[in-house]
Amino acid sequence: MAGSVIFSAMYLVCAFSPNIYLVIIAFGVVGGISFGMTYLSCFIILVDYFDKRLGMVNGLMMAG
């Protein structure tokens, strides 16, 4: 949940940024942290729920 809020704030900052350096910092640092928070939590949840077909479910999650 926190990752998605930070991700939304990153897009809001980029929409009103006065220069390109703020956009680079927002997408690079803030976007990387929030993407890591949301991406890793998806893998942890899949390991808890799927035992037999974990490889297929990971592939579907990454494709979606």
| Per-residue pLDDT tens over the stretch 31-60 | 888 888 888 888 888 888 888 888 898 888
Total-model pTM: 0.60
Q: Give the number of domains in the chain.
A: 1
2 burial level (CB within 10 Å; 0-12, 13-18, 19+): exposed
Give the count of beta carbons closer than 10 Å to the beta carbon of residue 24. Answer: 12
Whole domain around residue 25: which residue ranges?
2-63
Contacts of 37 (CB under 8 A, 6+ apart): 2, 3, 6
- Give the pair of three-digit tokens for residue 27: 């997408």
- pLDDT, residue 26, reads 85
What ranges make up the beta strands (E) of the chain?
A: none
Under DSSP, the state recorded for 26 is I
